[in-house]
Structure 1
Amino acid sequence: MKQKTGFSSVVIVAGGSGTRMGRPKQMLPLGGKPVLVRTVEAFKNAPSVRQIVVVTPEENRAVLNAYFPDLVYADAGDTRLESVKNGFALTDPSARTVAVHDGARPLVSPVHIEACLTEAAEHGAAVLAVPVKDTIKICKDGAVEKTLDRSVLQAAQTPQCYRREVLAEALAKFGDEKDATDESQLVEKTGVKVRVVPSDYKNNKITTPEDLTFAEALVSENVQYRTGFGFDLHRLEAGRKLYLGGTEIPHTKGFLGHSDGDLVLHALCDAVLGALCAGEIGILFPPTDESIKGISSVTIAKKVLEIVRAHKAEIVHIDATVITQEPKIKPHYDAVRQSLAAVFEMPVESVSFKSKSHEHVGEIGRGEAAMCHAVATVKIMQ
């Protein structure tokens, strides 16, 4: 449901070090995208959210900028509460409501986000929560002292949403408390009743490796794999530079083309576009366009990567075979693989590159031309 009482800002807290995961959990891959990217996407799909403030270290921001050009960034504090305060200080003062969310909760539903914001706009404060499934016991010195009534217990999640003035008052009065584990505790102290909005168990916080496995299983339910085929052929001409897979190969001849003639990148780009059913590079970069004459094929590949992201997809494997009589390509296998991995922003372990001779048959066998066959596999999120 769409909130009818003004727009919302959100503060996504993603400043943790991830000690239990071995590295920052918010940047771990989840279904082909960093966890934090999926978190931001959920709020991008919430109609009333107009501003997203991400509290995260500088080194994470370049990755986010590749997906979202309009985020606001705040520096992380020494505690979660300090990070919330830093993020809240950068929220739009005209926002009616403000949501605070854990960066490591990537599977929150936009429907639940909107429901929580709407409840907060009406009552002042609201949190997402789910009923506790396990029996909870208070223990001391290795023994049970008391068993709690599970029927009245709720596990609080995020986002936790507030009218802006409610959160501002809570942070101003109790923002120095070090033992608070969430903002709703501070709001409760101001006398505002925090409403509970039903959520689901998918909105789990990724804290341990097991949590990530659970999240991967949920994401994989909506994954489709596709394979595309690409082909290119170019003549060799003396005096031109020879490019293969984004790297220059020493030779007396280079490929003749409207661009730099890198037939490996051309074939692979067409394979990727074919897997996406998104046309081919001749449509994106027509050879009749004189303004792009001599364009680097790396630039073409980066445009294809933009299309991949627009399709909510990920390239998971590429394989290219060059057929040429000259020069000898085998000494350059590793260099080309490394270059292709960098161009397509994927692990080198997922990149295959090889060559075959043409047994001195035809134009290719005479060293006048070369061709490339390529296959690409992409993973598409539905």
Structure 2
Amino acid sequence: MTACMLYLLFFFPLFWFNFRQAQMGNDTYNSLTLQLEGLRITETNKYPIFIFLLLAYVFIFIANVGIVLLIWSDRSLHQPMYLLFCNLSINDVIGNSLLVPRVLADILVPPSERLMHYYECVMQAFTTHMFSTNAHTVLMTMAFDRYVAICNPLRYSTIMNDKMVIKLTVSAWGVAFVLVGILLGLTIRLNRCRTMIMNPYCDNASLFKLSCESVFINNVYGLTFTVVLLSSSIGSIVLTYSKITVACLTGKSKSLNSKAFKTCSTHLCLYLMMLVSGMILITLHRFPQYAEYRKISAILFNVVPGSLNPVIYGLQSQEINKCLSNIFHLRKVKPTI
């Protein structure tokens, strides 16, 4: 009897601990409710950050939608250059609309209440990666348009017809959709044993880190995905702009060279801004001690390009400036009696 009592006293805590661990494991195994870590901000900084992100999102929405409506309504802007740019504006609106409002809502609630459904998290991760991937593919199509316009001006209208614009647009969105679809598909297949998203929003890396299974395939495809996308993007930009530079240096038309410089400098500025902000985010992933800076840069990676794209492109484009000035001039003119 004494031996039995000692046996129970010794092993009962171990049995109870294992039972509780198994119970907790069942609660978190493939749980559909996830918790976001979000931004770690103080009460003092909470409202200034909230107001800044809110104003930035409102500006992104109004500026990009305004550019799209202006290009759509004015027939003089129905040119391949502006029609392709509409894809970038639409991409900025969609990407930020499914990200910033959720971040704003999480800022106002305690960390323990920042909950998200798994399928909502997957959708947000898909949109996030579509946003960044599509930005590269759209800018690649815009680079091709500038190359044809400057290096083959006499054949520009023949090459860049309506069918070609549609093909480039479908290719830009289709390639991004397939690449990101495979990326998220490899992650969805994994079983989950954790529920904490160590990020202010959901992305592919945050999702597959919830799994206790091997993520070797995910890492290999993710690395291949990044290398192929950046190599294609940087390679196409370097190739097209090298040929554009040669064409401008050998050409004798000063007006054509001046117009080429304006449009190409604008496009190159948009590309470099997106590339640098993305490189900063990738670099900060390698330094866990700067986790909070990484979170902030992840949000700014979406907000900053979306805010500056319509400003930079709109200010540099004479046609868009002319249309805007005509609209505001008509509004200022009042009928006289």
TM-score (norm 1): 0.28
Structure with more contact order per residue of length (Cα contacts < 8 Å, sep ≥ 6) = 2
TM-score (norm 2): 0.31
Which structure has the highest helix share of the two? 2
